[in-house]
Structure 1
Amino acid sequence: MFRRTFIGAIAATTVLALAACGGGNDDPLGGSSGAGGGSAPDKVDSLTVGSANFAESQLLAEIYAQALEAKGIKVNRKLNIGARELYMAAIQDKSVDLLPEYTGATLVYFKKDATENEAEAVYKAIPGALPKGLEVLDKSAAADEDAIVVTPETAAKYSLKSIGDLKAVGKTLVAGGGPEFKTRTAGLAGMKDKYGVEFKEFKTLDAGGPLSLKALKDNTIQVTQFFTTQSAIKDNKLVVLEDPEHIHLPNNILPLIRTDHKSPDVASTLNAVQAKLTTDGLTDLVTRVEVKKESADAVAKDWLSKNPLS
């Protein structure tokens, strides 16, 4: 959820920001604590919410922000920060205090050798992987999974059903997508490691966006990554390749928050949002933003009006 641009110049900064990981504990407010997270405050007057550089993340950030504002908490917004490498650095250097995130993507970001691949196991493994000062709250039933997709024509031409089927033909095909798709376990790196798949070329486009869709439909590329809450998959009859080796982990929506901004009011408000989110509902909301071009703040306001939290 999980779209999910790595800039090499910030790599060293990101690595430094990942210092100090360890074990976690259960949080009586709901959700899970990161290692050595310290004491949560009794009250928070303001916080900064950030988001990634794709519509769903910005929409979820707006829902979180407006829900908190309705509770009298001042919210600053730093939306469209970039890909995970950038916004994770931002929450660790305290540029932002809260982010909408995804269970599987969060776990493997902080624990690259994670072996958990079931939804509950992935969620329970996150606290022990988090750096000091970060926590997650309740995971939602709503999930947005990564998906390797091809056109129906490409699937038929090469008899593709699984990612592994690409091994025999990959070196004749071009993959494309956001720059992070090339380097992540959920992308080409994982496809090579787990399935032995390599491609003739990689074209840097966008993450599950219009550039990648156009290139796929034009046959400029043959393989890319989309996300399961995107209507583009169904609307264009794209074929999602099966992933028996689980390079794509369950990606339930959850808030990632700094412990020093997780007051009882903040936690309970965000957990109430989490309880109302559904995958089908989120898919409809993303369609309104991505396809119908409604603003994220307007869609968030409408959703909250129809899903009162108290």
Structure 2
Amino acid sequence: MRRRTLLTGTLAVAAAAGVSAATGSVAGTGPVITVGSKQFTESWVMGELYAQILTARGFQVVLKSNIGSADIIDRALRSRQIDLYPEYTGVILQTFAQPKHMPTTAHGTYLAAKEFEESRGLTLLTPTPFQNRNAVAIRTSDAREHRLRTVGDLRRMGSISYAEYPDNITGPLGYDAIVKAYGLSRMKVRPLNIGLQYPALKNGDVDAADVFTTDPQLRRYDFTILDDDQAIFGFQNVSPVVRRSLVEEYGTRLTEPLDAVNALLTEKAMQALNEAAAMMRLSPAKVADRFLRANDLK
């Protein structure tokens, strides 16, 4: 059967359902698997995708959404309150492993994260094609006028303003790090809460902005993402973190459905899923259900 990785048509109608991050369960009759997710829309949707595909394959799934930050959900996994959850490979290294030097490729990041997790009795399954990482966006008209391709090319625009969310100004992936890595001494920061950078950039209130690469707003505005050729943002593919004992017990019955879902999650697909949940106000459960059905997985 032909699979469609986007939700074209299926999610074109915005239902009057609010976004839900509640803890609940998904019906099933087989072995019990507890799936967790973090505290934002993309993680809720991926948690639902994992829970629903495993249910369709005969597991009895308990879904615990909105558990919390990386630190909190990691503790929940290691204390066996959950069995698996979606995590970003770069986050695993930056938050937990903290190597002296970060890998310089997406594959290298995945391998290093997997090696670290296996040292703790966990493992990673196949990662998604998409990454959700910080990036620098500009208006496409400016990119064309000034021939901008990389973040360093921003020097050609002279003095510019950069929208950054307050918590990230001094962080390793934020404004200060960008200025230092790319020598952008004439770039001034404008603190804006997450989400406000998009209308500010569109309206010309700022010249560039920190964005996340799967944000649905990137589908709606004529922006260009500049190449991070210094790789300061790292690599952030998503992989299910799962207790290794479960993989040994259930084998491909557990891993193949999760791998099948992850293989479909391109950047465009994840943007569409996020848009459906965050902007069209469909529940993550409904978004996941329609995506799996559209791709013949339910």
**Once the two structures are superposed, what CA deviation does each residue of 1:252-297 show, in whole Å capped at 9, x if it has no partner?**
3311223355442433332232234334333332332233332211
Aligned to 1:22: none
* Distance in structure 2 (CA, Å) of the matches to 1:101 and 1:277: 14
The question of 1:127 aligning with 2:114 is answered yes
Q: Is the 8 A contact 1:176 1:223 kept in 2?
A: no
The question of 1:256 aligning with 2:241 is answered yes
* Distance in structure 2 (CA, Å) of the matches to 1:49 and 1:65: 9
Summarize the alignment of residues 43-54 of structure 1 with structure 2, pairs less than 5 Å apart. Answer: 45-53=32-40
The Cα of 1:205 is off from its aligned counterpart by 0.7
The Cα of 1:133 is off from its aligned counterpart by 3.3
Cα distance, 1:85–1:280 mapped onto 2, change above 3 Å: same
Greater displacement, 148-157 / 117-126: 148-157
SS of residue matched to 2:113: helix
* Distance in structure 1 (CA, Å) of the matches to 2:81 and 2:155: 42
Q: Is the 8 A contact 2:31 2:59 kept in 1?
A: no
Cα distance, 1:152–1:205 mapped onto 2, change above 3 Å: same
* Distance in structure 2 (CA, Å) of the matches to 1:261 and 1:275: 21
Q: Is the 8 A contact 1:52 1:87 kept in 2?
A: no
Aligned to 1:291: 279
Aligned to 1:114: 101
Segments of 5+ residues of structure 1 without an aligned counterpart are 1-42
RMSD: 3.4
Aligned to 1:151: 139
**Once the two structures are superposed, what CA deviation does each residue of 1:15-47 show, in whole Å capped at 9, x if it has no partner?**
xxxxxxxxxxxxxxxxxxxxxxxxxxxx95231
Summarize the alignment of residues 208-227 of structure 1 with structure 2, pairs less than 5 Å apart. Answer: 209=195, 211-227=196-212
The one-letter code of the counterpart of 1:225 is: D
Aligned to 2:225: 240
Aligned to 1:277: 265
**Alignment identity in percent?**
24
* Distance in structure 2 (CA, Å) of the matches to 1:91 and 1:197: 41
Summarize the alignment of residues 42-191 of structure 1 with structure 2, pairs less than 5 Å apart. Answer: 45-53=32-40, 55-70=41-56, 71-79=58-66, 81-82=68-69, 84=70, 87-88=73-74, 90-92=76-78, 96-109=82-95, 110-130=97-117, 132-152=120-140, 160-166=148-154, 173-177=161-165, 179=167, 181-191=168-178
* Distance in structure 2 (CA, Å) of the matches to 1:120 and 1:174: 30
The one-letter code of the counterpart of 1:81 is: G
* Distance in structure 2 (CA, Å) of the matches to 1:260 and 1:183: 40
* Distance in structure 1 (CA, Å) of the matches to 2:101 and 2:76: 23
Q: Is the 8 A contact 1:177 1:224 kept in 2?
A: no
**Once the two structures are superposed, what CA deviation does each residue of 1:44-74 show, in whole Å capped at 9, x if it has no partner?**
5231412242x22221111011122332323
Cα distance, 1:45–1:85 mapped onto 2, change above 3 Å: closer
Q: Is the 8 A contact 1:229 1:282 kept in 2?
A: yes
Cα distance, 1:86–1:189 mapped onto 2, change above 3 Å: farther
The one-letter code of the counterpart of 2:45 is: L
The one-letter code of the counterpart of 1:242 is: D
Cα distance, 1:261–1:239 mapped onto 2, change above 3 Å: same
TM-score for both structures, normalised by structure 2: 0.71
Segments of 5+ residues of structure 2 without an aligned counterpart are 1-29
* Distance in structure 1 (CA, Å) of the matches to 2:148 and 2:161: 13
Aligned to 1:7: none
Aligned to 1:4: none
